[in-house]
Structure 1
């Protein structure tokens, strides 16, 4: 159910082929969620300017059912900004992450919602 989506102006050719595989366990550990439910997607080659500069930059969204909040997001931000900087070369002052805590009834899976799956 967690989804970390990154849009970046970094060219596809400069994104490590293993990035999404490396990012899933990082995301799962940070959120305390099973890896089998975690999704990481990256959209490269986006025409993007941050602060008027086209140096490497990104915009990201982290969606999860729970495990997000004011204090939790500070910890998630630290881990995710470090990952993106190390793997993609996007500095932490060249990216925003928005955090989206979705109710279980608003996330579908296997023909139903997590609300039904989790028995809520």
Structure 2
């Protein structure tokens, strides 16, 4: 159930068409999760300020069941930030990423949850 949500002030027309598919693969790879379960949600054109500037910036949330820890999050942060800087023009120092480790029993899918019990 990996999910990446990005709110950004980058205009929709400046977000490459390939961005969502590339981020889906990146999130699956960095978390070691099957890509068919990954969801990506990008919300462009937001009224967003970071460090008193409206230059490109973003707020991201990466949710997953497991694969989030002190050391793993550093890797996830580096990979996601590098992608955002290169492809969306959001500098690494103009975006926060919040990591949320969801318990499987708290994630519904296909009429049930991911909890196996």
1:2 counterpart residue number: 2
Please, what is the CA RMSD of the aligned residues?
Answer: 0.6
1:93 equivalent to 2:93? Answer yes
Q: How many residues align?
A: 117
For residues 47 and 76 of structure 2, what CA distance do their matches in structure 1 show?
A: 26
What's 2:41 paired with?
A: 41
Q: TM-score, normalised by structure 2?
A: 0.98
Residue of structure 1 in register with 2:61 after alignment: 61
Q: Which residue in the other structure is 1:50 paired with?
A: 50
Secondary structure of the structure 2 residue equivalent to 1:62: strand
- CA shift, 1:15, in A, is 0.4
Aligned counterparts of 1:41 and 1:18: Cα–Cα separation in 2: 13
C-alpha offsets along residues 16-72 of structure 1, whole Å, 9 cap, x if unaligned?
011001111111010000000011110000000001100000000000000001010
State how far apart, in whole Å, the 1-side matches of 2:108 and 2:33 are.
17
Moved segments of 4+, more than 4 Å: none
> Which segments of 5 or more consecutive residues in structure 1 lack a partner in the other structure?
none
Q: Work out the CA distance in 2 between the residues paired with 1:91 and 1:51.
A: 12
Unaligned runs of at least 5 residues, structure 2: none
